[in-house]
Amino acid sequence: MAYWGGGGAGGWSGPGEGMGQRRGAAGRIDGWNYDDLGKVYDAHLIRRMIPFVTPYRWHSIFALISMVIVSLSQYAQPYIMGRAIERIVDRIGAGESVSADIRNFGQLLVLLAVISFIAMYTQRRMTGFIGHRLLREMRGMMFAHLNRLSMRFYDNEEVGRVMSRVTSDVVTLQELLTSGALNVLADFIGLALIIGFLFALDVQLALVSLAVIPPLMLFMWFWQAYAARAFIRTRMAIATVNSNINENVSGVRVVQSMGREAENLRRFDRLNTNNLDSNLYAARLQAAVMPLVEILSSVATLLVLIVIGIRTFNGDIEASAALGFATAFLLYIQRFFNPVRDIVLQYTQLQRAMAGAHRIFELLDTDPEIADAPDAIELTEVRGQVDFNRVDFEYVPGVPVLRQFDLHVRPGETIALVGHTGAGKTSVTALIPRFYDINGGELLIDGVDIRKIKLASLTRNISIVLQEPYLFSGTIADNIRYGRLDATDQDIRVAATAVGADEFIDRLDRGYDTVLHERGQNLSVGQRQLISFARAIVADPRILILDEATANVDTHTEKLIQRALDTMLKGRTSFVIAHRLSTIRSADRIVVMRDGQIAEIGNHEELVAQNGIYADLYRMAFTHLTEQEAATERTEG
Ligand SMILES: Nc1ncnc2c1ncn2[C@@H]1O[C@H](COP(=O)(O)OP(=O)(O)OP(=O)(O)O)[C@@H](O)[C@H]1O
Ligand SMILES: [Mg+2]
């Protein structure tokens, strides 16, 4: 909203798309995406917004009444002034005393000012009250919804777009629901009042002063066509600048290590200058409005004065009436252009708010793909038997990822999944916590169809350690406790000790109370992994899924991790996407995957004896390892 810099006297924040704007089929004009602007009035959207405001109906009614009072008291003022002048001049002409009149009118004006003050204060307080509560409510709703949405939603959405809905779209919508709607209403009421007062004063003069409206409308019409385009350009420009800054800050290590500072600055400068240019262009357009309004109001003033002059000259009206008319009309003409201009300018605000509302409801309307079936059951004592019965699975319709995948895992068994990149290992493990639903076959846990199990009881029994551990800001203890809030400090210590993380945690100054930065950046990769292990086992899951990290860690941490793995896997049904030979060898069974199918299955000795894919992989890894060991020896020796 600040993209347009300052605003006119009306407090507007952006020009809008003209009513006569041609819209491309795909909502694009000149390559600019018009997603930013929606229909000004969308009955369906409005209906959706009503429930948000109904809890505040009394506040809204108060705000509305206050607004009408403000308008009335403001727009009655010129009328009263005009009448006052007429009366007073008349009395002076007749040689009567005017002190009583001056006092009466003075009191009336003061009273109006006080009423207007109170009403305006009430209006602002009410809209503030509603607005901030709406924001809190809508954000809370969206946050809850985002956490419920399925993986498929996140596969298809950009983080930035999701974020902007929760941060800026809600603000636009909130403004629409509070001050925006009220302002437009106030403008229309104001306009109607002014026109009413003008005609009440004098029909001919009213028509004369309104004569300048058509040219103003015509100008605004043409102006909007350019302004809308300029407006979109500024929005796009600042969005690009922001995302560029964001990318550079997040990737600053790579930037510096690759020596890209100068090149990146050059690229940024281009975007930054583009932003400047679009804003300057927009400012030029905006600058054209005020002078025009000034000119037109001068013209209207002139016309009114001429007509009054002619009438006085012809003796049609008294001098006192002429003076009164002139005062009232001039004051009205001055005020008249504010609502006119505001309405035109609010047009864009409305469009943007509608577009924002559309995006918000689109998000809230996205149902979590995966939800509890009505007859879903609670799994209390999970043994940990997992059966894939000829499972078919695809992310994208028509592109099978798993085909007739058939695997039967006994409780407590450790399965190592190996295979080339893209073979479908991660996909197999994503089905067990039901991040995605299968497309064919059956997936059973303890003999129960996974779709018949309550999601909460499913996740309670499964822990997942991702390839890239994701730690949250907070202390180490908070992070280990993440999945089981009732874990005691003792539980946390036990878990950390079991995976061998206690050693390095105890060496930290603040131990378990050490505060982690975003994503745990102040720990080493191996340390982050150990913490994510501790986090996984503190929940004591029956089924453990582990995407083993390929990252190289030092030999000491490597040993710790290996020991941790042994502890973690013991007594649990485990699926390990394994890269370490030691993990693979110690698995009960190794599943070799190829193109979403099981190519080979068996333990290490069996598979080596089969002399197939696994044997090849093993030999390659083995020779690779021996070379590495030889190299280490050479450098050390
Ligand atoms: N979210 C997704 N949306 C669409 N396709 C996906 C998605 N995730 C994976 N795929 C596709 O599914 C196939 C299997 O991917 P998967 O991640 O299971 O492989 P992987 O065996 O774990 O590979 P890697 O060893 O590299 O981790 C790949 O062809 C991949 O392109
Ligand atoms: Mg993977």
Strand pairing report for 573-577 and 543-547: parallel
Q: Which ligand is nearest to the CA of 421?
A: 1
* pLDDT recorded at residue 628: 56
Show Cβ contacts of residue 424 under 8 Å, excluding neighbours closer than 6 positions. 401, 402, 405, 593, 595, 596
> Is 150 in a helix, a strand, or coil?
coil
Pick the closest to residue 540 from 488, 610, 463 (CA basis).
463
* pLDDT recorded at residue 181: 80
Closest ligand 1 atom to residue 152 Cα is 1
The CATH code belonging to domain 386-602 is 3.40.50.300
- How does 379-414 read in b/e, with b if 16+ C-beta sit within 10 Å? beebbbbbbbbebebbeeeeebbbbebebebeebbb
How far lies 354's CA from each of 60, 135, 206, 422, 515, in Å? 20, 16, 36, 42, 42
Average pLDDT over residues 446-469: 88
Average pLDDT over residues 142-153: 88
CA angle, corner 10, sides to 6 and 14, nearest 5?
55
**Backbone φ, ψ for residue 181 (5° rounding):** -60, -40
> Is 612 in a helix, a strand, or coil?
coil
What is the whole-number distance in angstroms between the Cα of residue 397 and the centre of ligand 1?
14
Average pLDDT score, the chain:
82
Average pLDDT over residues 453-469: 87
Give yes or no for residue 13 having a pLDDT over 70: no
Give yes or no for residue 521 having a pLDDT over 80: no
Pair of tokens at residue 100:
């009583």
Which segment of 380-389, 441-450, 551-560, 591-600 scores lowest on mean pLDDT?
A: 551-560
Average pLDDT over residues 338-348: 74
pLDDT tens figures, 186-223: 888 888 888 898 898 888 889 988 888 888 888 888 88
Closest ligand 1 atom to residue 151 Cα is 1
Give yes or no for residue 401 having a pLDDT over 90: yes
- Which residue would you say has higher pLDDT here, 34 or 570? 570
Report d(CA 132, CA 538) in Å as an integer: 39
Give yes or no for residue 501 having a pLDDT over 90: no
What is the whole-number distance in angstroms between the Cα of residue 560 and the centre of ligand 1?
29
**Percent of the chain with pLDDT strictly greater than 90:** 21
What is the whole-number distance in angstroms between the Cα of residue 423 and the centre of ligand 1?
7
Which segment of 14-23, 380-389, 468-477 scores lowest on mean pLDDT?
A: 14-23
Report d(CA 303, CA 463) in Å as an integer: 80
Report d(CA 48, CA 633) in Å as an integer: 71
Report d(CA 362, CA 366) in Å as an integer: 6
Pair of tokens at residue 508:
């930290």
Give yes or no for residue 21 having a pLDDT over 70: no
What is the whole-number distance in angstroms between the Cα of residue 590 and the centre of ligand 1?
19
Give yes or no for residue 405 having a pLDDT over 70: yes
The β-bridge partners of 399 are: 396
Q: Which long-range contacts (CB under 8 A, 24 or more apart) does 157-160 make?
A: 160/243
Strand pairing report for 589-594 and 573-577: unpaired
Residue with tokens 């929005």: 235
Give yes or no for residue 545 having a pLDDT over 70: yes
* pLDDT recorded at residue 373: 83
Residue nearest atom 29 of ligand 1, based on CA coordinates? 422
Q: Specify the amino acid at residue 574.
A: S
Q: Where are the domains of the chain?
A: 39-365, 386-602
What is the whole-number distance in angstroms between the Cα of residue 117 and the centre of ligand 2?
65
Q: Is-same-fold flag (39-365; 386-602)?
A: no
Ligand 1 site-directed mutation target among 155, 395, 429, most atoms within 8 Å of CB: 395
Report d(CA 244, CA 325) in Å as an integer: 59
The β-bridge partners of 515 are: 475
How far lies 217's CA from each of 15, 17, 285, 630, in Å? 14, 14, 16, 84
How far lies 180's CA from each of 130, 132, 175, in Å? 13, 14, 5
Give yes or no for residue 4 having a pLDDT over 60: no
Band (6; pLDDT cuts 50, 70, 90): very low
Residue nearest atom 3 of ligand 1, based on CA coordinates? 395
Report d(CA 414, CA 576) in Å as an integer: 7
Q: Could you tell me if 75 and 194 are in contact, meaning their C-beta atoms sit under 8 angstroms apart?
A: yes
> What pTM was estimated for this model as a whole?
0.74
Residue nearest atom 2 of ligand 1, based on CA coordinates? 395
CATH class of 39-365: mainly alpha
Residue nearest atom 1 of ligand 1, based on CA coordinates? 155
Residue nearest atom 16 of ligand 1, based on CA coordinates? 424
Q: Could you tell me if 461 and 502 are in contact, meaning their C-beta atoms sit under 8 angstroms apart?
A: no
**Backbone φ, ψ for residue 335 (5° rounding):** -85, -20
What is the whole-number distance in angstroms between the Cα of residue 429 and the centre of ligand 2?
9
- Which residue would you say has higher pLDDT here, 106 or 7? 106
Report d(CA 184, CA 105) in Å as an integer: 31
Looking at residue 377, the DSSP 8-state letter turns out to be B
Average pLDDT over residues 285-307: 86
* pLDDT recorded at residue 630: 54
Report d(CA 228, CA 18) in Å as an integer: 7
Ligand 1 site-directed mutation target among 156, 388, 392, 401, most atoms within 8 Å of CB: 401
**What is the per-residue DSSP string for 346-373?**
HHHHHHHHHHHHHHHHHHHH---SS---
Q: Specify the amino acid at residue 408.
A: H
Looking at residue 18, the DSSP 8-state letter turns out to be -
How far lies 92's CA from each of 86, 101, 104, 186, 347, in Å? 10, 11, 16, 38, 49
CA angle, corner 620, sides to 619 and 623, nearest 5?
80
Burial-class residue 98 by CB neighbours within 10 Å (0-12, 13-18, 19+): middle
Most confident range (mean pLDDT) of 13-27, 401-415, 521-535 is 401-415
* pLDDT recorded at residue 14: 34
Give yes or no for residue 7 having a pLDDT over 50: no
Helix (H), strand (E), coil (C) string for 502-539: HHHHHHCCCHHHCEECHHHCCCCHHHHHHHHHHHHHHC
Q: Which ligand is nearest to the CA of 398?
A: 1
* pLDDT recorded at residue 391: 94
Give yes or no for residue 22 having a pLDDT over 70: no
pLDDT tens figures, 89-121: 888 888 888 888 889 888 998 999 999 999 999
Which residues, judged by CB distance below 6 Å to any ligand atom, belong to the binding site of ligand 1? 155, 395-396, 401, 419, 421-427
What is the whole-number distance in angstroms between the Cα of residue 531 and the centre of ligand 2?
21
- Which residue would you say has higher pLDDT here, 629 or 461? 461
pLDDT tens figures, 425-450: 999 999 999 999 999 999 999 999 99
Average pLDDT over residues 171-180: 81
Residue with tokens 């009220």: 182
Band (169; pLDDT cuts 50, 70, 90): confident
Which segment of 101-105, 127-131, 274-278, 524-528 scores lowest on mean pLDDT?
A: 524-528
CA–chain centroid gap for 438, Å, is 30
Closest ligand 1 atom to residue 420 Cα is 25
Q: Could you tell me if 515 and 575 are in contact, meaning their C-beta atoms sit under 8 angstroms apart?
A: no
Give yes or no for residue 394 having a pLDDT over 50: yes
Count of H-run helices and E-run strands, the chain: 23, 14
* pLDDT recorded at residue 402: 93
What is the whole-number distance in angstroms between the Cα of residue 243 and the centre of ligand 1?
27
Q: Could you tell me if 115 and 77 are in contact, meaning their C-beta atoms sit under 8 angstroms apart?
A: no
- Which residue would you say has higher pLDDT here, 396 or 235? 396
> Is 553 in a helix, a strand, or coil?
coil
Average pLDDT over residues 597-602: 91
Ligand 1 site-directed mutation target among 149, 158, 427, 598, most atoms within 8 Å of CB: 427
Residue nearest atom 9 of ligand 1, based on CA coordinates? 427
Residue nearest atom 17 of ligand 1, based on CA coordinates? 426
What is the whole-number distance in angstroms between the Cα of residue 387 and the centre of ligand 1?
21
Residue nearest atom 25 of ligand 1, based on CA coordinates? 421
**Percent of the chain with pLDDT strictly greater than 70:** 90
Residue nearest atom 7 of ligand 1, based on CA coordinates? 395
Give yes or no for residue 56 having a pLDDT over 50: yes
